[in-house]
Structure 1
Amino acid sequence: MPLTLVTGGTGHLGQDIVTRLVREGHRVRVFARSPQADTDVEWAIGDLATGAGLREALQGVDIVINAATYSPIARRGGVRPMDFFTSPSAVDVEGTERLLSFCSAASVQHFLHVSIVGLDEATLPYARVKLAGEQLVRRSALPWSIVRAMPFYYLLDKLLAGLSWLPMWPVPTTLFNPVDTSDVADHIVQCAFDGGRGERPEIGGPDDLSCTEFARQYLDARGMHRKILPMSLSERKARGMGFVVSHGVRGQMSWADWLRGQYPAARAAA
């Protein structure tokens, strides 16, 4: 049975990918800075940003799912002024380049890279870093696949939570369809083993809603009362900020259902 290495396997998406691989009976090795308690997988210890442990982690590996990334905005759950000027590239660019090189030396049969919908028009530094890493994959001689996904619900939740101290929320009116990591994981695992290669169908959530509607549903789920100030953005500016609608595969989990799972007590008290 082929051995699959997952980078970023301890992140939100990575954990869902690993869970699905194990559930379907695949042999799984997770590349991480430190091992976790999951005994259903092999643990390879190292760091994509430095390359430590990477050569050893790839021994005997047939398929690589590269779900590793480093987004300061996602980690802190908020935007700071520096995010409009710079974003670290050690994982997403140098790390991807290093990983591709080691995969080639290890004769990996399929390299599946997780990316983001709308990168070609996005202007934020993190998006430009992600696009640079994706372009490295496209130029690789390895058999590769790229799956672009919309931003995840958990990140939208963190960003909205970061506004909770404000009495009024300025929110764009543009349409958006973020997605749950569980749906993205299902799509990625399918793409990893269906024999296809190249640019694969992108994936977004089931509902095309305005950002203001996402915010309203969030406030309802949390039992919070804030005034939403709708902001109109030009299509060019919205796309530059990553506010797009994916027209590929659609996930099944809606934002409303995700919120019900996250905040049942708040809804019961409302």
Structure 2
Amino acid sequence: MALTLVTGGTGHLGREIVDRLIRDGHRVRLFARSPEARSDVEWTRGDLATGAGLRDALRDVDTVINAATYSPIARRGGIRPVDFFSSPSAVDVEGTERLLSLCQEQSVRHFLHVSIVGLDEATLPYARVKLAGEQLVRASALSWSVVRAMPFYYLLDKMLAGLAWLPLWPMPTTPFNPVDASDVADHVVACAFDGARGERAEIGGPEDLSVAALAGQYRDARGLHRKILPIPMSETRARRMGFVVSQGVRGRLAWADWLRRQYPGARHAA
């Protein structure tokens, strides 16, 4: 049976991807710094940022799904001043370059890279790092696919949770369609094995809502009493900040439904 290697397989999206691969009967190997107790996959210990263990991880691999990334903003759930000036590139650029080179040595048949919608106009350093890594994939001699996804609901949840202490939330009125990671995983796995290659359809959530409206739904789901101040934003500035609407396929799970699952008992919170 052909072997699929997943990088970033212990992350939020990666876990969803692995679940679907196992469900569909694929043989799966995970490349991770800290293997977990999951017994239905093979584990290879290593680090994409340094390349440690990577050659062994690629042995006999047919397909690679590269879901690894390093975003300080996502890890902490908020933006700090440093994020406007720099973002680490060891995983997303140098790690991707190293992974591509070794995949060519090992004659990997398909390299699928998970990326982000709207990178071409976004100006945050993390977005520029992600774009640089994606461009390496596109320039590769490998048989590759790139799947761009909108930001995930769980990340929006973390960002808004960091504002919960404020009595007033200034929020852009620009449209946005974040997506559930489970819907992205479905799309990624389908693209990995449907035989097509190259730039694939990007994926976003099922609804186009303003950031202010998304924040309002979050506030109501949490039972918070906060005032939202809508802030107009030009399309150019919105795109530079990554506030875009995906023009590709649409996920199924709406933000309000995701919130109901996350906060079933929070309606009467303070």
TM-score, shorter chain, exceeding 0.5: yes
Report % sequence identity: 79
CA distance in 2, matches of 1:188, 1:2: 17
User: Residue by residue, what CA displacement relative to the aligned partner does 1:117-147 show, whole Å, maximum 9, x if unpaired?
Assistant: 0000000000000000000000000000000
CA distance in 2, matches of 1:10, 1:62: 20
Deviation at 1:165, TM superposition (A): 1.3
Deviation at 1:268, TM superposition (A): 7.0
Whether the 8 Å CA contact 1:260–1:267 is kept in 2: the answer is: no
Partner of 1:228: 228
Find out whether 1:149 has 2:149 as its counterpart: yes
User: Residue by residue, what CA displacement relative to the aligned partner does 1:16-46 show, whole Å, maximum 9, x if unpaired?
Assistant: 0000000000000000001111100000100
User: Residue by residue, what CA displacement relative to the aligned partner does 1:152-178 show, whole Å, maximum 9, x if unpaired?
Assistant: 000000000000111101110000000
CA distance in 1, matches of 2:34, 2:18: 16
- Would you identify which runs of 4 or more consecutive aligned residues in structure 1 move more than 2 Å? 267-270
CA distance in 2, matches of 1:15, 1:55: 22
Deviation at 1:66, TM superposition (A): 0.1
CA distance in 1, matches of 2:193, 2:257: 29
Partner of 1:165: 165
Whether the 8 Å CA contact 2:222–2:269 is kept in 1: the answer is: no
Structure 1: segments with no counterpart, 5+ residues? none
- TM-score scaled to structure 1, two decimals? 0.99
RMSD: 0.9
Partner of 1:79: 79
Q: Which amino acid aligns with 2:155?
A: L
**Residue 228 of structure 1 aligns to a residue in which SS?**
strand
**Residue 207 of structure 2 aligns to a residue in which SS?**
coil
User: Residue by residue, what CA displacement relative to the aligned partner does 1:175-233 show, whole Å, maximum 9, x if unpaired?
Assistant: 00000000000000000000000000000000000001100000010000111111111
Partner of 2:263: 263
Structure 2: segments with no counterpart, 5+ residues? none
Partner of 2:125: 125
Partner of 1:53: 53
Deviation at 1:247, TM superposition (A): 1.1
Whether the 8 Å CA contact 2:115–2:134 is kept in 1: the answer is: yes
CA distance in 1, matches of 2:220, 2:167: 15
**Alignment map for 1:24-43 (pairs within 5 Å):** 24-43=24-43
Whether the 8 Å CA contact 2:84–2:125 is kept in 1: the answer is: yes
Deviation at 1:2, TM superposition (A): 1.1
Count of aligned pairs between the two proteins: 270
User: Residue by residue, what CA displacement relative to the aligned partner does 1:69-97 show, whole Å, maximum 9, x if unpaired?
Assistant: 00000000000000001000000000000
**Residue 192 of structure 2 aligns to a residue in which SS?**
helix
Deviation at 1:267, TM superposition (A): 3.0
